[in-house]
Each structure stands twice: as C-alpha cells, then as structure tokens.
Amino acid sequence: MQTIQHFINGKTVTDDQRTQSVFNPATGQPCKNVALAGSATVKAAIESAQAAFPAWRNTPAAKRAQVMYRFKQLLEDNADKICALLTEEHGKVLDDARGELARGIENVEYACGVPELLKGEHSKNVGPAIDSWSEFQPLGVVAGITPFNFPAMVPLWMYPMAIACGNTFVLKPSERDPSSALLIAELLQEAGLPKGVLNVVNGDKEAVDVLLTDPGVKAVSFVGSTPIAEHVYNTANKHGKRVQALGGAKNHAIVLPDADLDNTVNALMGAAYGSCGERCMALSVVVCVGDDLADNLVGRLRDQLKGLKVGPGTDPASEMGPLINQAHLHKVSGFLAQGVEQGAELVVDGRNLVVPGHEAGFFLGGCLFDRVKPEMIIYREEIFGPVLCVMRVDTMEAAMELIDAHEYGNGTCIFTRDGEAARYFSDHIEVGMVGINVPLPVPVSYHSFGGWKRSLFGDLHAYGPDAVRFYTKRKTITQRWPSSGVREGSQYAFPS
C-alpha cells in the first residue's frame, strides 16, 4: 500500500517512524498510509524554507507573479486528477470537488496581481528636501495548518499569497486526506518555484507543536475547530508569532414569511447537506419567523430529503457523499441521540441509511430536527455533519437576538423579499459574513474571509486584501539628501 511522505526542499522525504491509515470514506477501507512527521522532519522543512528565503525575498514581484500564472494553468490542466484525489480521500461528490478547486484557483489568480498589491505609499517633500514612503516586506518563514474538509482550497487560501509576497512556506495539511496537497505542491514547483520555498509535512500534534513554537516560523495560519484554533492562537502568540486562527461555526438562516419558499428550500438543501455538512460555512440552523411558516418549511424540507441521493462521490448521481471517517460518523450520530433525548423533534433520521455495495462506508443520510431550543447541545455545538435544526420565533428581532447570543459568528443569511428588513439585518447582525438570499456567503478571492466572536482568533481575515497585510510587515522610510556645501547645526527639538 502506498505511503504518502513529505515534500521538503523540492523532493520527497521519507519519515516512516510513525504512520496511519488514510481511508476511502465511501468504502470504509484503508486506501493508503500517511507518514506522520517527527520533530526532526518538521525542523528540516523549516530550515529548508529559511535557506530559500533570502533569494526568494529578493526575486522581483513580477517574476514571483509569473510563477503563479504558470501554477494556475497547471492546476486547471490537472483538475481531474486533483478532484479524483479529493473524492477518494474526503468522500465529497466530484462536482463539489471541482467547485472546491475552482475557488482555490481564484486565490491563485488574485496572487498573480501581487506587484500591484505590494505597492506602498509615497509622499514627496514632507519637509524641506525630505521624502517619505512605505513599503511592504515579507516576514520570512510562515506556516499553514489546514483541515480535512477542504484539502485543496484552504491551503490555496494561504500559501499562494504568502509566497507571492516573498515569504517561504511550510504546510501541514490534514493527515486524513493528504494526497492532493502533495500533488499541488509538486505542480507549483513545476511552475518554476525554487526548491525550499514551499515545503509540505504530514503529521499530527507533534508536527503542529513544532510549527507553533520554533523561532524560525514567523507567522501561522490555521483553519479548524474553535478549541484548537484558540490553542494555536495562544501558543503561537506566546512564542512571538503573528497568528490568524479560524475556528468553528453555527451558521443561522433567518426565513421571513415573505420569502420565496421554493427557492429558499432549494438553497437550504444545498447549504445544509452539501459536502455532507462538513463545511465551516454550512447552514446548520434555520430560524423561522412564525409557526405557519415553520410548518410549511419543515414539510417541504422533509419531502426534499426523501429524494436526496446519497452515495459514493464518484457516482454522478450522488448529491451527498459519506462523512470523513468512522469516528466522525459516531460523533455526529451521538449528537442525533442527544437531540432526541433533550426533546427536539427528529423529523428525518438518516442513521438507518444503507448504500448498496458500500455497506461499510461512513454514510449518514440527511437529518432534520424541528422545535430545537437554545439550551440544547445540538444547537450550542458545531455538529459538522448533515444535520439541519429548525427553530421557531415570533419576530425577526427575536431571531437576531438568538444569533447574536451564540458564541460563534462565522456566517449567516436572511431569506426575504423585504429590502428594508434585509438592510437592517446586514447592518446590525453580529456575524462576520452575511448573505441576503445567498445561503453560503463565502467572499470571492479579492475580498477576505473570516467570522466574528469565537469563529476567528486574530485581527486579520484569510485571503484577499487581509492576506497581503498578514504576510507582510510595513516599513516606513524617511529620506533626506542635504544640498552639498550646506552645514547645519544640531537641532534638539522634536522634528516637525
């Protein structure tokens, strides 16, 4: 069986002291092994990045952009191969894999504009014969720690812009589905990236701890659950690093009585059950304003769920694939049991789903709860599975209070035909990303992605303009060239 290794200084590096299985979620069987890097291997990756930094830092931004242009083309040329790996190791359907990769490529496109993005400000004659300007310089070696649910897209949120800005990078992808990260790194080197500028180490907590504490790493980007995001933020900050750590979510949709229900139901189905709910932007709570609306909406969702096609991601007929592994299937099933125990109405129970020919796969059908209350565990915690909770309130204000009271503030949306209500909602809701009749308000690559409250630790969001600021440090230079032959006395007052 193939063992996925590491990519350091432009070549495969073997570290077989510890390995673990990589599963095909549709079959429930191991398809590969992955090596788990020890501290020495991670340090070797950091040293490789440090050695490559001086020359890459001094490479003109236009030449760095040319590498990104070639990289974009190679990603498009190899899209089928990359998406097949995503489906094999994550389980998502091929259409979803293609969408993931496309959104990642958008970030490479944005990085192609780095010569413009790195331009600073210049002011002439701020004083007699004195000019002042600012410029943006790279940090050095930066690291990214990425999750299993978007093994291609989330790394592409990080290292294209970091590298285009002149940094070198160490990526620690999820050990659950590592193959696409290795393939994409090889494509970037094929595009002309010098050896050592991008390094990939597979591993678990041992690898992460080195990246968080080693003084050679100047900044860390992370996407994952809130408890781990908080740990990453606190630990890396303690060791003097710049950190952006994106955490969990509990994304709400408010549905007003005037909403177009046909379109709303279709939007909710895709947003709640796409990628088996394993998205940080998945809609997991619907807040209906009024009981009549709730009854109608729940009935429509129940009918739609009866026709949801669940199966292996390689089957073109499948609309939803399996969960990532057996442990996560058990965890999500546990949430369902707790919801029933605490009094929520389980309208659709997906636990008895059997996919013919894939009985050992990690499949769970779409699940729907009604009459969920704020004190219930299924409402308070992020389930990260194909489970949609319906809550009932009397007014839009009550729905907004519910959302604002939750510890997470990643994404939210409202379904309505009322422009005044939509404007009020978007202005006042305490959430970082807002959709108006848009269920998954994920910003495009030239805006930035990030939530509020305990969905983000750090001051700067991911990708877009914030990425340029995160991966660079501003330097301001003030310059004077005195006229020849002019002698000046010392000045002891503060300059003005």
Task: Render pLDDT for 52-79 as a digit per residue (tens, 0 to 9).
Answer: 999 999 999 999 999 999 999 999 999 9
**What total number of domains does the chain contain?**
2
Q: Is residue 9 part of a domain?
A: yes
- 389 among known catalytic residues: no
Q: Are residues 210 and 337 in the same domain?
A: no
CATH number at residue 58: 3.40.605.10
Q: Are residues 320 and 218 in the same domain?
A: no
Examine the pLDDT at 248 and tell me if it is beyond 90.
yes
Tens of pLDDT, residue by residue over 79-127, are 999 999 999 999 999 999 999 999 999 999 999 999 999 999 999 999 8
- Report the distance separating Cα 399 and Cα 407, nearest Å: 15
The predicted structure's pLDDT at residue 32: 96
Per the listing, tokens 């908080």 go with: 230
Per the listing, tokens 């003030």 go with: 478
Catalytic residue among 112, 165, 276, 280: 280
The predicted structure's pLDDT at residue 105: 98
- Report the distance separating Cα 363 and Cα 103, nearest Å: 26
- What's the mean pLDDT in 413-426? 97
Q: Are residues 206 and 257 in the same domain?
A: no
Q: Is residue 268 part of a domain?
A: yes
Q: Let me know: does 384 contact 328? Beta carbons within 8 Å.
A: yes
- What's the mean pLDDT in 396-405? 98
The predicted structure's pLDDT at residue 491: 76
Share of the chain above pLDDT 70, in %: 99
Q: Is residue 494 part of a domain?
A: no
Q: Are residues 200 and 277 in the same domain?
A: no
User: What is the distance, to the nearest Å, from the Cα of residue 157 to the centroid of all Cα atoms in its chain?
Assistant: 7
Examine the pLDDT at 42 and tell me if it is beyond 90.
yes
Q: Are residues 199 and 94 in the same domain?
A: yes
Q: Are residues 257 and 385 in the same domain?
A: yes
Q: Are residues 191 and 303 in the same domain?
A: no
Q: Are residues 166 and 233 in the same domain?
A: yes
Q: Are residues 262 and 329 in the same domain?
A: yes
Examine the pLDDT at 485 and tell me if it is beyond 70.
no
- Report the distance separating Cα 492 and Cα 89, nearest Å: 68
Q: Are residues 261 and 280 in the same domain?
A: yes
φ, ψ of residue 155 to 5 degrees: the values are -55, -35
- Report the distance separating Cα 107 and Cα 102, nearest Å: 9
pTM above 0.85, yes or no: yes
- Report the distance separating Cα 138 and Cα 467, nearest Å: 12
β-strand pairing of 367-370 with 387-393? parallel
Q: Is residue 489 part of a domain?
A: no
Examine the pLDDT at 313 and tell me if it is beyond 80.
yes
The predicted structure's pLDDT at residue 128: 86
Q: Is residue 491 part of a domain?
A: no
Distances (CA, A) of 473 to 44, 61, 470: 25, 16, 8
The predicted structure's pLDDT at residue 486: 66
Distances (CA, A) of 199 to 82, 154, 174, 262: 18, 16, 14, 47
The predicted structure's pLDDT at residue 492: 80
User: What is the distance, to the nearest Å, from the Cα of residue 282 to the centroid of all Cα atoms in its chain?
Assistant: 12
Q: Is residue 490 part of a domain?
A: no
The predicted structure's pLDDT at residue 493: 81
**Where in the sequence is the domain holding 291, given as residue range(s)?**
251-436
CATH number at residue 333: 3.40.309.10
